[in-house]
Amino acid sequence: MCDEIIEQKIDITTSVMNKNDLFAAENRGFLKGKGIYTLNLISSPGAGKTTVLESMAHYFGSRMAVIEGDIQTRRDAERIEKAGCQAWQIETGGACHLDAHAVKHAMDQMELDSDILELLAIENVGNLICPSGYDLGENLRIGLLSVPEGDDKILKYPSLFSTINVLVINKMDLLPHLDFDVDRAIEECRSLNPDVLVFTVSAKTGEGMEEFCDFVESNYS
């Protein structure tokens, strides 16, 4: 007589993001221990992330450090350094987003022990899809939308705009020349994300940037 066969299902799967989340938690704890507040800026290519950070560099000076993410070149890091902030360039070599491990490696190379350093800004690789799924250890996630992109992008890319804390609408100096409905963009973002805060700026002219920088500073001061 055969012994009774007992079938038992054992779930051995783990989240594909588990490793990233562990590094993100490590990053968050490390930065908290140093008293550094961290931003993750996400947008499509050309929306103006680097120009926003250049404007922020003039406001914060050596109180801010920046991690730049791009496929190739140090061009954005060089712009930030010229504006007056420490910067580290991550060249992904083809990856369409930054992950928490890459950020950890960058922080290991940076001078983050300064008594005056208060803020770390991470400029993610230009992409409205992939970066939205990766926690980098940030305190504040910022989605940047520029006027030339059109006001219809938010509902097309809900994975990003439903997870941000702040929406920054950039290139407002071009608003008189383009068909962009600011109210529509804000309304559609809040339909996904009722608590999102919104700033309208022109990083090129400086419009709205002081208000935005004051807001960032008020979060950690």
Q: Which of 112, 106, 123 is nearest to 50 (CA)?
A: 123
What pLDDT is stored for residue 15 in this prediction? 73
Point out which residues pair with 104 in neighbouring strands: none
Does residue 12 sit within a domain? no
What pLDDT is stored for residue 221 in this prediction? 81
- Is residue 213 predicted with pLDDT exceeding 90? yes
- Is residue 3 predicted with pLDDT exceeding 70? no
Does residue 123 sit within a domain? yes
Does residue 162 sit within a domain? yes
CATH (domain of 202): 3.40.50.300
Give the DSSP per-residue string, the chain: -PPPP----------TTHHHHHHHHHHHHHHHHTT-EEEEEE--TTSSHHHHHHHHHHHHGGGEEEEEEESS-SHHHHHHHHHT-EEEEEE-TT-SS--HHHHHHHHHHS----TT--EEEEE--S-SSGGGG---S-SEEEEEEEGGG-TTHHHH-HHHHTT-SEEEEE-GGGGGGS---HHHHHHHHHHH-TT-EEEE-BTTTTBTHHHHHHHHHHTT-
Does residue 99 sit within a domain? yes
Q: Which of 15-19, 135-139, 178-182 has the lowest mean pLDDT?
A: 15-19
Averaged pLDDT, 63-74: 98
Does residue 36 sit within a domain? yes
- Is residue 10 predicted with pLDDT exceeding 80? no
Does residue 1 sit within a domain? no
What pLDDT is stored for residue 6 in this prediction? 63
Give the count of domains, the chain. Answer: 1
Does residue 3 sit within a domain? no
Kindly give the interhelix angle for 49-60 and 75-83, rounded to the nearest 10 degrees. 30
- Is residue 54 predicted with pLDDT exceeding 80? yes
Does residue 188 sit within a domain? yes
Domain range for 117: 18-218
